[in-house]
A and B are shown apart, each in its own frame.
Chain A
Amino acid sequence: MAVTAPGFFEPQPLLSRLAAAAPRLVVACGMAVVMLTRQIDISVGSLFAWCSVVAGLLAGARPSPPLALAAAVALGAAGGVINGALVAGLRLPAIVVTLATLVTWREALRLYRQGVFVNLPEGLQWFGLPMRTGQLLVCAIALVVLCGLALVLRQLAIGRQVYAVGADAEAARLAGLRPRRVTFGAFVLLGALTGLAAVLNLVQSPQVDPATGRLLELEVIAAAVVGGVAVSGGRGSLPGVFSGFLLLTCISPALTYLGVKPYWDKAIQGLLILAAVAAEGIRRRKEPRG
C-alpha cells in the first residue's frame, strides 16, 4: 500500500478521513459490547439521527453547546433504555425489537422533520476550535472511548461479566451474576455512545441531515464482525474491533488510489465481511471438538 500509493499516507487527508469515521468507531465499541452479551442492535442508525437532530435544534435555540451535547447523550441513553427494557425485561428477541425501533424512530423523525435540514450555529463547528485541532480532538475522544472500554472489558469485574453472560447466560446466572441487568446495561451504554457519536459527527458539518445515520448499523456490525467479535456472544475484543474499523475505513480510499472505481465499494465491503466470517468459520472447524 505504502509503495503503490504514497499519497494515501499524507497526514492531512488521513486525519480528515479518520475524524469523519471516528463517530462510527464510537458506535462500533458500544455495538461490540452488546454483541459480546449475545444480543444485537440494528436501531443505532435511527437513534443516531434523532440525537443529531435534537442536539442541533437545542444548540440553535439556546447557544449553550455543552447542554445540547449532553442532551444528545441522554437521549441516546434513553433509546438504549427502551431497547434494553424490551430485550432484557420482556425477554423479546433483540433483532426483532431493534428492527421495530429502527423503523419507528426513523419514521417518527421523518414525520417530525419532513426532511428539513437543521442549521447549526457558527460556534459549534469543531467545538469552536480551529479545524485541525478539532479533528484531533474528535479522534482523541473516540480513542479515549475505545481504550477506556477496552480496559473495562479486560480488567474490571463488570467487563468480565459481559463475557460470562454472552458465553452462557444460564451459567452466569448460576454463578451469581445478573445476566438481564448486564444485557440491559449493554444496551444503555450503546445508546449513550450513539448519542456521543452523533455529537462527534455534528461538530463536523454546518447542517444536520435528518436522514443521517442510515446503514450505520450495518457499518458498525461489519466493523465488529471483521474485528473478530462472534455473533454467538462471548468472544471478541475491542482492539480487534479497532482493526476491523481501520480496515473497513481505509479500504475504499485505498482502492481509489489503486485505480478501482468507487462504485465497487459496497461489493468489496460485503466480500470483506464474508472473508472475515468465513476465516472464523474455518478456524472453528479445525479446532478439536470439546
Chain B
Amino acid sequence: MSRPKSSPAASRLRRASRRHEWLLLGILAAEVLVFSLAGRNFLTADNIANLVRHSTEIGLLALVMLPVILTGGIDLSVGSLLGLCAVVFGSIWRDWGWPWPLAAGGALVVGALGGGFNASLISGLRLPPLIVTLATYSLFRGLAEALTRGTDAFTRFPESFLFLGSGRVGGIPVQAWILGGAAMLLWLSVHRMTWGRSWRAIGFSPEGALHAGLPVSRRVVTTYVVAGLAAGVAALTYAARLGTAKADAGTGYELAAITAVVLGGASIFGGTGTVAGTLLGVAIIAVLTNGLGRLPATLSIAGELSGLCTGLVLLAALAGSAFSDWWAGRSSRCRGATPGDGTAPTPT
C-alpha cells in the first residue's frame, strides 16, 4: 500500500498505525461477538440505531478533538461549550421567540465563538492549551448556569426539531448521517489535504513547521474553531435526542472524547493519529456501554461496569503502546539502525 515516493520512516509509521487499527478492529469484533452471543437483542436493527444515536455527541467531539490533539494541543472545554450552546439555543428559541433554525444557527455561532476564544488565547498569547481550556471549561459551564440561573430547563421543542434526534432519513437515523458526514470531512482534511497534513507537521515540531513556511497559528486556530463548531452541532443533537436543553448538558463528554481519541492510537504529544482509529475508539466504547446493558447478568450495574471497563481499556491501550514502542526500539537497535523518530520529511 505504501506509495513508492514516501521515505522508510514515514512508511514504517504508517504501517505501525495500521497495525494499531487492526488491533482495535479485533477488539471491536470480539466485543460484538461476545455481546451478540451472550446479550439479549444486541444485533438488531433497532439496537444498532439506538447505539448510533447515543454515540453521536461523543463521536462528533472525538472527531474534532483529533485535529486539536494532532497539533499537540488539547481541548477540555468542549463538554462545557456543548452545555452553553444548548442553553443559548433554548433561550433564543423560547425567550426571544425566534424559529428554531435561527436559534440553531445562533448556537453554532456561539460554538464557533467559544472555540475562537480558546484559539485566540492559545495562539495569540501563547498560553498552554491545557490551562486555557481548563479555565474555559469552568467559564463556559458557568455562563450556561448563569444564563439559566442554575435550574431553568428548556423543553417542548417543536416536532420538526425533535426529528433531528429521533427521525430517520432513508431508514437510517439522522445522527448517522451527521456523524458520517463529519467523519468524511475530517478524513478528507486530515488524510487527503495539505492543511490537514500541516496539523500533523505542527504536532511533530512547531518550530520545524514554522520554518517550513506553514502558517502555524492560523492552522492551530482552525482546529479550535472547528472543535467549537462541532460542540454546537452536538448541542443540537443532544437537545433533540433528550427533548430538553439544560446547563449540565454534556458533562464529562470531553474526557470521553479524549479517551476515544487516545484509544484510537493518537499520541497526546501530537503528530500521530488517524480518523479511522478515532472512529474505532468511539465504536469500542459505545459498543461496550451498550452491550453491557444487554447482558442479563449485569443489567443492574451496567452503567458503572461500562465506565470501569472504559478506564481499564484505556490503561491497557496505553501500556500496550508503551510496550510496542519499547519493542520497536529494541528490534531496530538489534539491527543496528537508528531508531526512527517519525520526523523524517515526506518528499513532495
Contacts and interface: CB of A to CB of B under 8 A. Distances in A.
Nearest to B312: A104
Interface in B272-310: 301, 303-305, 307-308, 310
A241 to B, nearest CB: 15
A202 B214 CA distance: 54
B305 A263 contact: no
Contacts of A96: 258, 262, 268, 314, 318
Contacts of A110: 303-304, 307-308
B135 A104 contact: no
Question: Interface on chain A toward B: helix, strand, loop, or mixed SS?
Answer: helix
Chain B at the A interface: SS class? helix
B278 to A, nearest CB: 15
Contacts of A92: 318-319, 322
B125 interface: yes
Interface string B133-160: 0111111111101100110000000000
Nearest to B77: A270
Contact of A95 (B125, B127, B130, B135): B130
B77 to A, nearest CB: 9
A270 B140 contact: yes
B227 interface: no
A282 B269 CA distance: 25
B310 A274 contact: no
A270 B139 contact: yes
B126 interface: yes
Given A111-B301, A222-B138, A103 B314 contact: yes
A115 to B, nearest CB: 9
B128 interface: yes
A258 interface: no
Contacts of B307: 103, 106-107, 110
Interface residues of A, number: 47
Nearest to A265: B142
A99 B134 contact: no
Contacts of B140: 270
B131 A263 contact: no
Interface in B105-127: 121, 125-127
Interface in A224-269: 225, 231-232, 261, 263-269
Contacts of A203: none
Contact of B304 (A111, A265, A278): A111
A218 B138 contact: yes
B311 A267 contact: no
B315 interface: yes
Interface of B: 74, 121, 125-128, 130-132, 134-143, 145-146, 149-150, 255, 258-259, 262, 268-269, 301, 303-305, 307-308, 310-312, 314-315, 318-319, 322
Given A107-B307, A222-B138, A273-B134, 7 more contacts: A97-B315, A106-B307, A107-B308, A231-B131, A271-B135, A271-B139, A285-B126
Interface of A: 40, 86, 90-93, 95-97, 99-108, 110-111, 114, 218, 221-222, 225, 231-232, 261, 263-271, 273-274, 277-278, 280-282, 284-285
Closest CB pairs A-B (n = 7): A270-B139, A267-B142, A266-B142, A104-B311, A107-B307, A270-B138, A103-B311
